[in-house]
Amino acid sequence: MWEMKDLKKLARMAWIKRIAGLAVLVALSGCTVNPATGERQLTLIGEQQEIAMGIEADKQVGQSMGLYPDEDLQRYVNEIGQRLAARSERPDLPWSFRVVDDSAVNAFALPGGFIYLTRGIMAHFNSEAEMAAVLGHEIGHVTGRHSVEQMSRQQLAGIGLMAGMVLSEDFRQYGQAAQAGLGLLFLKYGRDDERQADDLGLRYLVREDYDPREMPEVFDMLSRVSQAAGPGRAPPWMSTHPAPEERAQRSRAAIEQALAQTKERKVLSAEYLARLDGMTFGSDPRQGYFSGDRFYHPELAFQIDFPSGWQKVNQPSSVIGVSPNQDAMVGLSLVGAKSAEEAVKGFFSQEGVRGERPRRGAVHGLTAVSARFAAAQQQAAEIAGTVTFVEYDKRVYQLLGYTSVQKWPDYESSLALVADSFQRVTDRRVLSVEAGRLDIVKIPRALTMRQFVELYRGSVELEQLALINRFEPDEEMPAGTLVKRVVGGDLPN
């Protein structure tokens, strides 16, 4: 769901401070031997604190990314994860395994045993064993205590950065700032940590009798996803993990060894693919989409226009536009207030924010309160902006636009136009837009992917379909193969 961006940042800061406090409290915990790795570790954070950190961060994930709304799928992923974790060296952590509603290909672990797969990575797996391999790897980051060590390090270092970000004049950083919320969760581990997580993951996979050969399959898939994304556009998992080719190479010997230790060698491909039938694929237009400079949110039934030429990004909690020179920005988000009046009071109660008397009025017939404001923080240049709170459908929306005090005259009118463009959507075609969904097809005879696309028309191109099915376009798929296609998800034009 949506919420006020700045409030979230403040909340996060408060959270970081709390963790920093915890870290100081337990600084004398000393050195222990890690049960998973057998290594001596300098532990600054005890297990109870680690769990507390995880619980806090887990709330952030739930709020900023949202869980994929499919109870059966969630239960399934959790069951597999629980089984793997129960046989790890830290079986008593409050492990949880969930699917977040995000189309990016990613997996991550928080301290204390909170592990997430995106629905994007789920769509790319072709068997339960592949999913288990990635879950095992993430479990390895927790049992190896990489997550807690990294999180405490990154967040202690991050306090100054976050404080400066809220009112930073340097809008060039805005893009990074927008990413930073999630970036904190995608912990960057060292290469040694990654290798260790691979080793531990393989160990857990073998203990649950999965076919260890599925592990390099996953690395191969991630490598293909990375290549398809193109340089510099790799999915988040890629930027925090070593080259998949290198990992596949390295694990080959280990795989051979692991193979000798498994009997059943579970793969469970058909069982896994059946779970994917009907799952949302790609970005979900019901959560908002752009048509030119106009942003539509079908679920919340509103639209808003951005100035032409601005960069725009739709995030789970806000939609943001940044000027071509990156010296002005405008953002729309939901606030928790009961009325526009209450929201504007809350806005001006923030430290360092002052402004003129708010004006009451209407935006396209909706009750609204708006005000110009200026804000400054230590070591940051003063910014000037306009804020409008609009009441619509029992919710209060905040439209916030700002720039530096010097640039204010250049942007005043375009920022005002954005706020004034907010209105309800009545177009049925927009309101009824649907996300694309995976459809699992059992092919009655041998087909190449190219032939499959001809026969079973779907809404994504051959190349992407080949990628998620992991068949080359002209490679023959035997009769009876379960093949993923994507149906629906077309936008009205």
Q: Residue 293: which of 281, 276, 310, 279 has the closest Cα?
A: 310
Residue nearest to Zn ion (CB): 197
Least Å distance, CB 76 to Zn ion, is 22
Give the H or E element holding residue 162. helix 146-165
Ranges within 403-462 binding Zn ion (CB under 5 A): none
Cβ-based neighbour number of residue 324 at 10 Å: 11
- Of the candidates 337, 344, 383, 378, which has an alpha carbon nearest to the alpha carbon of residue 360? 344
Cβ-based nearer residue to Zn ion, 56 or 194: 194
CB of 3 to Zn ion, least distance (A): 29
Closest CB to Zn ion among residues 194, 391? 194
Q: How far is the CB of 75 from Zn ion (least distance, A)?
A: 25
CB of 77 to Zn ion, least distance (A): 18
Q: Are 40 and 31 in contact (CB under 8 A)?
A: yes
Q: Which of residues 193-222 bind Zn ion (CB under 5 A)?
A: 194, 197
Collapsed DSSP state (helix, strand, coil) of residue 456: coil
User: What is the rounded CA–CA span in Å between residue 464 and residue 118?
Assistant: 18
Block residue for tokens 């951005």: 306
Q: How many residues bind Zn ion (CB under 5 A)?
A: 2
The interface with Zn ion within residues 299-358 (CB under 5 A) comprises none
Q: What type of residue sits at position 164?
A: G
Handedness of CA 420, 425, 429, 430 (dihedral sign): positive
Cβ 476 to Zn ion shortest distance, Å: 35
Longest CA–CA span in the chain (Å) reads: 75
Closer of 194 and 208 to Zn ion (Cβ) = 194
- Site residues for Zn ion, 157-196, by CB under 5 A, read 194
Closer CB to Zn ion, residue 187 or residue 375?
187
Closest approach, Cβ 197 to Zn ion, in A, equals 5
Q: Identify which of residues 40 and 188 has a Cβ nearer to Zn ion in the complex.
A: 188
HEC letters along 178-240: HHHHHHCCCCCCCHHHHHHHHHHHHHHHHHCCECCCHHHHHHHHHHHHHHHHCCCCCCHHHHC
At its nearest, how many Å lie between Zn ion and the CB of residue 409? 49
- Taking the least distance from each CB to Zn ion, the nearer of 189 and 210 is 189
Nearer to Zn ion, 19 or 197 (CB): 197
Joined together, the tokens standing for residue 199 give 């080793």
Cα–Cα distance between 426 and 200 in angstroms, integer? 53
CB of residue 225 vs Zn ion: minimum separation in angstroms? Answer: 15
Tell me how far apart the alpha carbons of residues 259 and 274 are, in angstroms, rounded to a whole number. Answer: 26
Closer to Zn ion by Cβ: residue 130 or 284: 130
Binding site for Zn ion (CB under 5 A): 194, 197
